[in-house]
Chain A
Amino acid sequence: ETGVTQSPTHLIKTRGQQVTLRCSSQSGHNTVSWYQQALGQGPQFIFQYYREEENGRGNFPPRFSGLQFPNYSSELNVNALELDDSALYLCASSSGGARETQYFGPGTRLLVL
């Protein structure tokens, strides 16, 4: 166990709806990264938060947004859901820095119908 928790574990939504996914980082970690993993593919970087500020963003549209709280937990929000948003959403925590290992939570599996 990595100490990183995510909620909910599974979620079913319909197109056009909005969803919020949550992540609690490992104790002592101040950095949270979010990834999307479609079936049969490697995780794709969405964005990263370091000390409550966005610290980099991947090639995802603005309807993917997030924030980080003072306790370093984080949320990922997705508006106007599309069928292609169906995926495993992974949160990873680290203590920051290019060489720091990112430890993944169990993920949230989102299905958009």
Chain B
Amino acid sequence: QKEVEQNSGPLSVPEGAIASLNCTYSDRGSQSFFWYRQYSGKSPELIMFIYSNGDKEDGRFTAQLNKASQYVSLLIRDSQPSDSATYLCAVNMGANDYKLSFGAGTTVTVRA
């Protein structure tokens, strides 16, 4: 079983719609959760982090965490063509384990 799994995509949404990205993780003791956006040929850039169960909103982005279900998601509201990228879910597995474990990413295309 992979440590972090994401819905494989690609995901195509019309401009203005909501894009929903999902991620599950294997280690119940995982501490912190990150969403990175990666444009083609570029390095990952942080969108959001979340530590506690529930929702966290930042502009058009909402991260949702459910530790009991070992599930984290990212919603992109009012999707724009500039949101077209690969979204990487990253998980820090424990208090003394500082590495990030990444999913394979979900590629999102926003159609104008």
A-side residues, CB < 8 A to B, are: 2, 31, 33, 35, 40-45, 48, 50, 55-56, 58, 88, 90, 92, 94, 96-99, 101-107
Contact = CB atoms under 8 A, between A and B. Distances in A.
28 contacts: A2-B45, A31-B98, A33-B98, A35-B102, A41-B105, A42-B90, A42-B102, A43-B88, A43-B100, A44-B102, A45-B101, A48-B98, A90-B43, A90-B44, A97-B98, A98-B31, A98-B94, A98-B97, A98-B98, A99-B49, A99-B51, A101-B34, A101-B46, A102-B34, A102-B100, A103-B46, A107-B42, A107-B43
A98 to B, nearest CB: 5
B31 A106 contact: no
Interface of B: 4, 31-32, 34, 36, 42-46, 49, 51, 88, 90, 92, 94-105
Contacts of A98: 31-32, 92, 94-98
B98 to A, nearest CB: 6
B98 A105 contact: no
A56 B96 CA distance: 10
B31 A45 contact: no
Contacts of A97: 98
A42 B88 contact: yes
Contacts of A31: 98
A106 to B, nearest CB: 5
A33 B100 contact: yes
